Amino acid sequence: MQNEWLYIGLFIVIGVIVPIVPLIASHFLAPHKPNPIKQSTYECGIETVGESWVQFKSQYYIFALVFLVFDVETVFLFPWALAMGNLPLFAVIEGIIFILILLAGLTFTWRKGLLEWA
């Protein structure tokens, strides 16, 4: 294949179509007899109280923020790791200093108590 990304694009198209096929088959073969009780929200047989779209614990948000920092940083680390063979020792140590700064950030959040689930 000459163009790898064209192949990936075709793969995405087929990869989305394949899971849809059994759903279509199911649409034609399965019975459809909806009624209000069947369609009610399943919470172990008890009627739902209040809104289903509840507020979530703010701790999830903080973890997501910490994750974002590290996620962006790993994208920077990939080129560094890839070029490792051609880099001088000094550049490798520079990369290590970069990681140390990130770990300092993690220590800061840790000391601040943001990693606690309370």
Partner 1 sequence: MTFWNDPINFIAGWLRSVFTDWGLTDGPANVITSLIGIVVMILFAMLIAIALVWVERKVVARFQDRLGPNRIGPFGIFQPFADIVKLIIKEDITPAGADKAVFNMAPVMSLASVILIWAIVPLASKIYGVDINVGVLYLVAVGSFGTLSVIMAGWASNNKYALIGAFRMVATMISYEIPMVVALLIPTIIAGTMSVKGITEAQSNLWFVVLSPLGLLLFMISAIAELGRSPFDLNEAESEIVAGFHIEYTGMKFGLFYAGELLHAFTFGGFMAVLFFGGYGGFFGLEKLSAFTWLSNPFIELVVFLVKALIGYWIIMWVKYSMPRIRIDHMLTFNWKFLTPLAFVLLMVTALFDKILAPTQFYVLGMFFSNISLAWIVIEILRRISKRERIEHERNAEPVIQVAHP
Show contacts with partner 1 in window 66-85 (CB under 8 A).
Answer: 66-67, 70-71, 74, 77-78, 81-82, 84-85
Q: How far is the CB of 46 from partner 1 (least distance, A)?
A: 11
Q: Residues touching partner 1: how many (CB under 8 A)?
A: 71
Which helix (H) or strand (E) segment holds residue 81: the answer is helix 58-82
Which parts of 81-110 interact with partner 1 (CB under 8 A)? 81-82, 84-85, 87, 89, 92-93, 95-96, 99-100, 102-103, 106, 110
Residue appearing with tokens 């550049």: 91
Is residue 41 at the binding interface for partner 1, with CB under 8 A as the rule? yes
Distance from C-alpha of 87 to C-alpha of 78, rounded to nearest angstrom: 14
Q: Work out whether the CA dihedral 56, 58, 61, 66 comes out positive or negative.
A: negative
